[in-house]
């Protein structure tokens, strides 16, 4: 007889963990030790649930690599005890965190599902209960005790996405996230429908390895018409930045102004890793397709292909933290490590 899946719920903070005081109307932190009392529907799930919370839950605007490491460590320390993990997280930076955890958890072979909500769990019209319940169901899916989802996912408003493919597109609608460059992994309707062909397949029988060293000495430069030369010089000549993401136009195009290209070339020669990511919500960088991107390719700018800015930030921090340098850095960045790019 196959035992019930055992799920660990990790609360980091965010709207989903708030409940409204019926007398004062003020929001206060939810006591996750009384989870089954507040949400009795969880008793209907075919799994057992334990909970752990950050000592001081945070707003996701304060999320940083130290907290990513804390989440990864909790998962690592409990990896053999549980069949799946659900991380409750504020929605604003959830795509960054899901991306980061996908790189930190090398050889992950169990589900780690991020979820949150647009309204507090105690609100009358909350989306929190459905997101929470279905995330736990997604983390519990298995065939003869083997998890079906074996990667970092993000569940929101009836869809499960690959975490490192997501972007938050809307601050008001319940359907807050989208994965424009990769199909969703599963959908919740009358039935839970899993798109098996799109799931990540980890290495068989490989041990989980935690990679929590993240180097935050990076920057993001969004191009726009009329961008100032002095601003670009200040960024590209800085000795503090080890990696820079440039958000370019369309399929990776940038100004062909001589001063701009020379700044990039000198920065790359000095050892700065520069990654080209499109500003567009969907689509891919294809350097060399137009004249306005050919020079970027020639001087050694790294192609981000169809990676999101959120995943590019996490991947850049991860590779710098692993002390990968030179041509190897470019080769590895342009290679899909956790399904983050096509």
262-270: long-range contacts at Cβ-Cβ below 8 A with a sequence spacing of 24 or more?
263/232, 263/233, 263/236, 263/237, 264/236, 264/296, 264/299, 264/301, 265/299, 265/300, 266/236, 267/236, 267/237, 268/299, 268/300, 268/301
3-state per-residue secondary structure call for 279-326: CCCCCCCCCCCCHHHHHHHHCCCEECCCCCHHHHHHHHHHHHHCCCCH
Active site residue 278: no
State the residue for tokens 């000495």: 217
Q: DSSP assignment of 163-178, as one string?
A: GGG-EE--SSSS--EE
Classify residue 100 by its DSSP letter: H
Cα torsion at 295, 306, 235, 320 (round to 10°)? Answer: -110
Residue ranges of E strands in 89-229: 105-106, 112-115, 142-143, 146-147, 152-156, 159-162, 167-168, 177-178, 186-188, 192-194, 209-210, 218-222
Q: What backbone phi and psi angles, to 5 degrees, belong to 108?
A: -55, 130
Q: Which member of 15, 126, 308, 309 is catalytic? A: 15
> Catalytic residue positions?
15
């Amino acid at each position: 007889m196959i035992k019930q899946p055992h799920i660990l719920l990790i609360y980091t903070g965010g709207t989903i963990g708030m409940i409204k005081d019926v007398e004062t109307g003020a929001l206060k932190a939810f006591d996750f030790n009384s989870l089954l009392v507040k949400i009795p529907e969880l008793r209907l799930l075919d799994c057992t649930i334990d909970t752990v919370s950050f000592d001081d839950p945070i707003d996701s605007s304060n999320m940083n690599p130290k907290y990513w490491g804390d989440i990864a460590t909790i998962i690592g320390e409990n990896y053999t005890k549980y069949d799946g993990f659900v991380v409750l997280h504020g929605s604003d930076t959830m795509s960054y965190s899901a991306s980061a955890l996908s790189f930190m958890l090398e050889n992950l072979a169990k589900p780690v599902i991020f979820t949150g909500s647009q309204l507090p769990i105690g609100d009358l019209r909350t989306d929190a209960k459905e997101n929470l319940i279905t995330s736990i169901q997604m983390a519990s899916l298995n065939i003869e005790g083997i998890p079906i989802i074996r990667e970092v996912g993000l569940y929101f408003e009836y869809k499960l996405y690959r975490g490192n493919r997501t972007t938050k597109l809307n601050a008001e609608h319940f359907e807050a996230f989208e994965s424009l460059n990769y199909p969703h992994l599963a959908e919740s309707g009358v039935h839970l429908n899993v798109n098996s062909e799109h799931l990540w397949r980890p290495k068989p029988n490989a041990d989980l390895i935690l990679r929590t060293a993240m180097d935050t000495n990076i920057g993001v430069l969004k191009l726009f018409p009329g961008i100032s030369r002095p601003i670009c010089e200040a960024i590209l000549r800085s000795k503090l930045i080890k990696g820079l993401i440039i958000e370019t136009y369309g399929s990776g195009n940038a100004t062909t102004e001589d001063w701009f290209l020379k700044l990039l070339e000198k920065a790359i020669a000095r050892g700065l890793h520069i990654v080209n990511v499109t500003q567009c919500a969907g689509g891919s960088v294809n350097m060399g397709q137009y004249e306005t991107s050919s020079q970027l390719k020639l001087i050694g700018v790294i192609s981000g292909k169809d990676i999101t800015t959120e995943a590019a930030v996490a991947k850049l921090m991860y590779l710098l933290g692993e002390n990968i340098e030179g041509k190897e850095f470019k080769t590895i960045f342009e290679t899909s490590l956790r399904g983050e790019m096509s």
